[in-house]
Amino acid sequence: MAIVEQAQSPDLPLADNGLEASSPAASPKPTLRKLGFRIVPLVIFSMFVGGILGMYFQPPALRAFFATTGLEPGAGTETPIAVALEQVRTQEEVAVVSEGDIVALGRIIPAGDVINIATPYGAGDARIYALEVGVGDMVERGDTLAILDNRIELESAIEVAEATIKVREATLMQSRETVRASRAEAAANLERAEATANQTEIELARATSLLDRGVTTRADFDEVVARATEAARDVERYRATLSRYNALSGTVQADIAVAEANLEAARVDLARAERDLERSIVRAPQDGTVLDINAQVGERPGNDGILDLGDIRQMTVEAEVYQTLIGRVSIGDPVTVTAAALGDALTGSVQAIGLEIGRQSITSDDPAANTDARVVDVIVRLDAPSSEKARRYTNLETIVRIDTTRSQ
């Protein structure tokens, strides 16, 4: 106990010397830890702020570093930083680039747009029997594009109609021959009746003379009168019969009229069968180039039709301009069209401005983009060099810049 008390006593020289020796070495440790806790957050904050400022302003040194290393800001993510920052801006915010320019989304289309060629009306569930064209083929109006499998049935209907016409033609010929023979017979009967009537008239005159002289009896005279009267009636009857076979005042015989009407009906049936045959042939409605085939041999064409046709000799761009900006656009305004796939920009001018405000149909890939905007369609006619270059890019999404300073 005495030893412990002596060691804990502050009056001992050894205890004082020991504390004095150890105190300078132990006192700096708490100070460094406190300083470290203050410096580390400042360093982290400085790095964060420096990174944000560097990405925002991109000073020349930082751009030179990215150019040398080939790195891009945010390239390690699915959405680069530069693109993300651009996409958070609404489309209406970037629609007006400057005081005189309007920017809109558009798509390249042939003059008159793309036509989906469907099966002819009345083709029903017919399938494709043969395709007569391929992608890239140029066709003229009326050229055969495809043949459907209902052609055999429709050709049979034509054969039946042609056979019916032959039967009706024979019937008409038979009716005409019958009428001709009947006319000749009626004419001969009339001629014979007239000869008989002439003979009875002579006999009646002689009998009348004999009766006046008392040479003949009243009974013989009456018999002669009866024969003369009957002969006259025969003449009238045969004349009426002959008149039935004569065309008078544009009237034809009933038998021939019926035969001619039946023949005309058969010809109408043949014409209808020939028109129905067109339901088995798909023809080009206009000049153009086959852009795509939507159905193959053996398939029944769907809602997309058999193929897509467009006149790519003249290419245009359909742009959708916001309704709030359409008042600044005029016919003839210069237009510049750009897209990543094009390389060089295309040029043209405003050709037409839509008369109806509709819902936007051309949208970007950004899920946050406004897809319910109200827009007006503007058709841009590309100049000859640009049209030649755009032929291979039907439906390509583009950025359309309209210079409206000309109309201001």
DSSP states of 327-350: GG--TT-EEEEE-TTTSSPEEEEE
User: Six-digit token pair at 204?
Assistant: 């009646």
pLDDT at 203: 84
Q: In the chain, where does the domain assigned CATH 1.10.287 lie? A: 119-305
Distance CA 181, CA 243 (A): 14
- d(CA 273, CA 271) in angstroms, rounded, equals 5
Which residue is associated with the tokens 């009998």?
A: 207
What residue has token string 């030649």? 388
Two tokens at 292?
């795509």
> What is the crossing angle of helices 151-212 and 254-277, to 10°?
170
b (16+ CB within 10 A) / e for 71-101 = eebeeeeeeeeeeeeebeeebeeebbeeeee
pLDDT at 29: 52
Residue 27 vs residue 256, higher pLDDT = 256
Q: Which residue in 124, 130, 147 sits closest to 297, CA to CA?
A: 130
C-beta of residue 315 within 8 angstroms of C-beta of residue 390? yes
Domain 119-305: give its CATH architecture: Orthogonal Bundle (1.10)
Which CATH code, of 2.30.30.40, 3.40.50.1820, 2.40.30.170, 3.90.1150.10, is assigned to 89-117+308-407?
2.40.30.170
pLDDT tens track for 115-143: 999 988 878 788 999 999 999 999 999 99
* pLDDT tier for residue 285 given thresholds of 50, 70 and 90: very high
Written as one letter, the residue type at 208 is: T
- Cα separation, 65 vs 58, whole angstroms: 10
Global pTM exceeds 0.75:
no
CB 289 within 8 A of CB 135: no
Which residues make up the CATH 2.40.30.170 domain(s) of the chain?
A: 89-117+308-407
Q: What is the per-residue pLDDT for 124?
A: 79
CA–CA dist 163, 399 (Å, integer): 64
